[in-house]
Amino acid sequence: MSAKIRLYVEHPLGQGQSVHLTREQAHYLFGVMRLAVGAHVALFNGQDGEWLAEVVQAGKRGGELSCTEQSKPLQLPPDLWLLFAPIKKARTDFIVEKSVEMGAARIVPVQTEFTNSERVRQDRLQAHAVEAAEQCGGTFVPEVTELQRLDRMLDDWPQDRQLMFCDEAEVGSALRLAENKTGQPWAILIGPEGGFSEKERKRLAALPFAHVVSLGPRILRADTAAVAALTMWQQAFGDWS
């Protein structure tokens, strides 16, 4: 048995576990999707895998589901962070959505010297990550952090985490990645629409854990660069193989 609707819940999941719905969740399942008692929904919470659940109570302001069987185990992504400079709203949403689909474990908006946006709605982006996980069949939802200053992050950078620095100044050079670092924690850094400053570029290039990477012979938009970089990393070090 399978369910067409997947729903993220902040509730423990297990055999026979009852799950009480919020008003918003009840409205979606029973008002929008027109489910009734006896229907099935796939639930996940980012910790217990995916569970098939049956509707046992359905109301306009609430409802209750009961877990019947596990349909997927928890599938954790690689230990990969995506750092990106926020851009226009719709394109920032796109970056978050694709990061979830492509297996980032943590999504970090960063403030660089040329970043246009000085604030992000972390709660809205986190909700967008949840929606992306619901749609793509994932059982894990990456954390979307508050906006962080890039220079301060580098000051406190964990030395065991490798950093893939996608530098638009490398356009036209050969595609390359660092020597084999499979199994290590990684991060990908995507710059703002105006690129990195010369100061940032020099600092990043000098860091022992940073690996400068070209994304090909053409300058990419920031949202396109995020997808290209995630694809490149997954093929080299990730869980696609």
What contacts 157, CB < 8 A, 6 or more positions away? 163, 207, 209
Phi and psi dihedrals of 30, rounded to 5?
-100, -30
116 found inside a domain = yes
Instruction: Give yes or no for residue 169 having a pLDDT over 80.
Output: no
Confidence at residue 213, expressed as pLDDT on a 0 to 100 scale = 87
| Chosen domain end from 72, 90, 122 | 72
Confidence at residue 202, expressed as pLDDT on a 0 to 100 scale = 93
Domain region containing 227: 80-237
109 and 50 in a common domain: no
68 and 150 in a common domain: no
| Chosen domain end from 72, 93, 109 | 72
Confidence at residue 119, expressed as pLDDT on a 0 to 100 scale = 81
Instruction: Give yes or no for residue 216 having a pLDDT over 90.
Output: no
Instruction: Give yes or no for residue 212 having a pLDDT over 80.
Output: yes
> 46 with 132: CB under 8 angstroms?
no
175 found inside a domain = yes
Instruction: Give yes or no for residue 174 having a pLDDT over 50.
Output: no
187 and 108 in a common domain: yes
59 and 99 in a common domain: no
Confidence of residue 65 (pLDDT cuts 50, 70, 90): very high
159 found inside a domain = yes
Q: What percent of the chain has pLDDT over 70?
A: 93
Confidence of residue 240 (pLDDT cuts 50, 70, 90): confident
22 found inside a domain = yes
Confidence at residue 181, expressed as pLDDT on a 0 to 100 scale = 62
149 and 210 in a common domain: yes
124 and 50 in a common domain: no
Number of structural domains (the chain) is 2
| Chosen domain end from 43, 72, 101 | 72
147 found inside a domain = yes
Q: 81-128 pLDDT, tens per residue?
A: 999 999 888 999 999 999 999 999 999 999 999 887 778 899 999 999
Calculate mean pLDDT across residues 9-26. Answer: 96
Instruction: Give yes or no for residue 177 having a pLDDT over 70.
Output: no
Instruction: Give yes or no for residue 173 having a pLDDT over 80.
Output: no
1 found inside a domain = no
103 found inside a domain = yes
141 and 62 in a common domain: no
68 and 136 in a common domain: no
Q: What's the CATH number where 62 sits?
A: 2.40.240.20
Alpha-carbon distance values, 109 to 24, 44, 45, 79, 82 (Å): 28, 25, 23, 17, 8
Closest CA to 175 of 221, 216, 231: 216
Q: Max CA-CA distance within the chain?
A: 61
48 found inside a domain = yes
Instruction: Give yes or no for residue 183 having a pLDDT over 80.
Output: no
158 and 67 in a common domain: no
Confidence of residue 180 (pLDDT cuts 50, 70, 90): low
46 and 135 in a common domain: no
58 and 85 in a common domain: no
Closest CA to 11 of 58, 40, 44, 54: 44
* 50 strand-pairing partners: 44, 72
123 and 94 in a common domain: yes
Q: Provide the angle, in degrees to the nearest 10, between the axes of the packed helices 122-136 and 89-102.
A: 40
DSSP 31: I
Confidence at residue 117, expressed as pLDDT on a 0 to 100 scale = 72
